[in-house]
Amino acid sequence: MSFRILGTGSAAPKFTLTNDQMAEIVETSDEWIRQRTGIGSRRICKDENLLDLSVRAAEEALASAGVRPEELDLIICTTLRGELITPNHACLVQERIGASCPAFDINVACTGLLYALDIADCYFARGKTKKILIVAAEEMSSIVDWTDRSTCVLFGDGTGAVVLGEGDGLRAVTVHAEGNREVLYIPRGEGKLFDGTVVGEPCCVKMDGGEVYKFAVNAMTTGVQKVCEEAGISPSELDFVVPHQANLRIIKAAMSRLHLPMERAFVNIESYGNTSSASLYIALDELVRSGKLERGMNVALTAFGGGLTSGAALFKW
Amino acid sequence: MVFEKVRKILADYKEIDESAIELTSTLEDLEFDSLDTVEVMMSIEEEFDVQLEADENIKTVEDLVKLIEANIQ
């Protein structure tokens, strides 16, 4: 017995930072950002906190799934950095929604949802789990370097959630990692030794854009090909590909290598930017709510991120 | 030989005529931005079976050809 997605939810901060506003912070322009990334604006946690948003997304997903918090057997949270170091973010969400089940975080950068689905697959296979909540909570605005125009324009904040239940929606899932410290990393921040010496580096995103681009295009393409092969279908039979929303150009390059038209990719990067692991949840939630998904459709999810990590999943909707 | 292949890859990518591409053409003249350059580097890596480091010093088609030749040997 595997699982299917019973419900989805998402919540993004109210405050919108446009490209024109970005141009007042660093030397850039709306045209430059749009051409290279497809991003028009991003949401920033200014008027609300990350936990409130995560709880909203979780409650929305539970409501759409018709599942009560007390029915949950597990909560997994994907996040680069939750509200606190401990308790983990999943426990904080659990406390607020009133669930009573194991809860833990995983950090697989932008690939979080795929790893969480892979873990969920194992739990369901054990046969004791009926309902799982997966939540993403990402506040990139607190970990970007607002003086580095090559990275700060790319990211945004957001949260999302999915509720899983027993069923046969999942056709295949694959996850991958190739340890690499240099290409994309975020130091944990500065700290002080007993004698006051400052150690460590400021906590902000460092990225070699060109190398990430190459990894991303290859990883998203091979991930989708792999899950299609495992499920015994051709990529041409995919009705929708929901890719990690990091860069429109990466999505276009991957779709082109899969020989799929862009109309089959679900893209919402224009209004959110890259929200790390939350991006897939938000995109999936919007696709579900758009009413375009019909029962029996083949839907692939694919992502890549720091690690370097990547993954893909295929669902029969 | 390397130049002819590179010229074809660049021309196919931008959907322009190969004759518009000279050794002295700069990638900027050909309207390649940084992501276009990475994208054609990936095609070049596949075509020549080499691994190339994205390098900001690559300005002209000739720079690209020299980088490939250095990596083939």
Q: Is there a contact between A36 and B54 if contact means CB atoms under 8 Å apart?
A: no
Burial A265-296 (b: 16+ CB within 10 A, else e): bbbebebbbbbbbbbbbbbbbbbbeeeebeee
Which residue's structure tokens are 């150009």? A249
Residue-wise pLDDT for A83-142, tens only, equals: 999 999 999 999 999 999 999 999 999 999 999 999 999 999 999 999 999 999 999 999
Is A244 catalytic? The answer is yes
Tell whether A210 lies on the interface with B, counting CB pairs under 8 A. yes
Task: Give yes or no: residues A234 and A160 share one domain.
Answer: no
Task: Give yes or no: residues A309 and A195 share one domain.
Answer: yes
Task: Give yes or no: residues A180 and A145 share one domain.
Answer: no
- Quote the pLDDT of residue A99: 96
Q: Is the pLDDT of residue B56 over 90?
A: no
Contacts of A36 in chain B (CB under 8 A): 33-35
CATH of the domain at A186: 3.40.47.10
Q: Is the pLDDT of residue A231 over 70?
A: yes
Chain B residue with Cα closest to A213:
B38
Task: Give yes or no: residues A16 and A104 share one domain.
Answer: yes
Sign of the CA dihedral A141, A145, A150, A151? negative
Q: Is the pLDDT of residue A18 over 80?
A: yes
Domains of chain B, CATH where assigned: 2-72 (1.10.1200.10)
Residue-wise pLDDT for B11-27, tens only, equals: 999 889 988 899 999 98
B34 or A202: which leads in pLDDT: A202
Task: Give yes or no: residues A66 and A159 share one domain.
Answer: yes
Residue-wise pLDDT for A256-275, tens only, equals: 999 999 999 999 999 999 99
Boundary (domain end) residue, out of A148, A167, A186: A167
* Single-letter amino acid, residue A161: A
- Quote the pLDDT of residue A1: 62
Q: Is there a contact between B33 and A209 if contact means CB atoms under 8 Å apart?
A: no
Average pLDDT score, chain A = 96
Tokens of A103: 């809860």
The radius of gyration of chain A from alpha carbons, rounded to an integer in Å, stands at: 19
Boundary (domain end) residue, out of A134, A167, A200: A167
| Rounded Cα–Cα distance for residues A114 and A119 (Å) | 9
Mean pLDDT of A159-172: 97
- Domain containing A160 equals 2-167
Tell whether A35 lies on the interface with B, counting CB pairs under 8 A. yes
If 0-12 CB within 10 Å is exposed, 13-18 middle and 19+ buried, where does residue A78 land? buried
Which residue's structure tokens are 């950095």? A81
Tokens of A114: 């795929």
- Ramachandran sector of residue A307 (left: φ over 0; alpha: ψ -120 to 50; beta: rest): left
Chain B residue with Cα closest to A36:
B35
Q: Is the pLDDT of residue A205 over 80?
A: yes
Interface test with A, best of B36, B39, B55 (most A CBs within 10 A): B39
Is A152 catalytic? The answer is no
Question: How long a stretch of residues is chain B?
Answer: 73
Q: Is the pLDDT of residue A156 over 90?
A: yes
Residue-wise pLDDT for A26-72, tens only, equals: 999 999 999 999 999 999 999 999 999 999 999 999 999 999 999 99
Task: Give yes or no: residues A10 and A126 share one domain.
Answer: yes
Nearest to A227 by CA among A308, A171, A178: A171
Task: Give yes or no: residues A160 and A180 share one domain.
Answer: no
Q: What is the DSSP letter of B26?
A: B
Task: Give yes or no: residues A156 and A188 share one domain.
Answer: no
Q: How crowded is residue A85: how many other Cβ atoms within 10 Å of its Cβ?
A: 8
- Quote the pLDDT of residue B34: 83
- Quote the pLDDT of residue A131: 98
Q: Is there a contact between A253 and B41 if contact means CB atoms under 8 Å apart?
A: no
Q: Is there a contact between B35 and A36 if contact means CB atoms under 8 Å apart?
A: yes
Task: Give yes or no: residues A69 and A121 share one domain.
Answer: yes
The alpha carbon of residue A35 is apart from the nearest alpha carbon of chain B, in Å, by: 9
Q: Is the pLDDT of residue A149 over 80?
A: yes
Per-residue confidence band for A252, with pLDDT thresholds at 50, 70 and 90? very high
If 0-12 CB within 10 Å is exposed, 13-18 middle and 19+ buried, where does residue A243 land? buried
Residue-wise pLDDT for A269-298, tens only, equals: 999 999 999 999 999 999 999 999 999 999
Task: Give yes or no: residues A256 and A300 share one domain.
Answer: yes
Q: Is there a contact between B34 and A253 if contact means CB atoms under 8 Å apart?
A: no
Nearest to A133 by CA among A53, A210, A68: A68
If 0-12 CB within 10 Å is exposed, 13-18 middle and 19+ buried, where does residue B69 land? middle
Average pLDDT score, chain B = 87
Tokens of A195: 């004698």
Task: Give yes or no: residues A158 and A212 share one domain.
Answer: no
Residue-wise pLDDT for A168-177, tens only, equals: 999 999 999 9
Per-residue confidence band for B72, with pLDDT thresholds at 50, 70 and 90? confident
Domain count, chain A: 2
Share of chain B above pLDDT 90, in %: 14
Boundary (domain end) residue, out of A167, A185, A219: A167
ipTM above 0.95, yes or no: no
Residues 6 or more apart whose CB falls under 8 angstroms from that of A84 comprise A92
Q: How crowded is residue A307: how many other Cβ atoms within 10 Å of its Cβ?
A: 22
Share of chain A above pLDDT 90, in %: 98
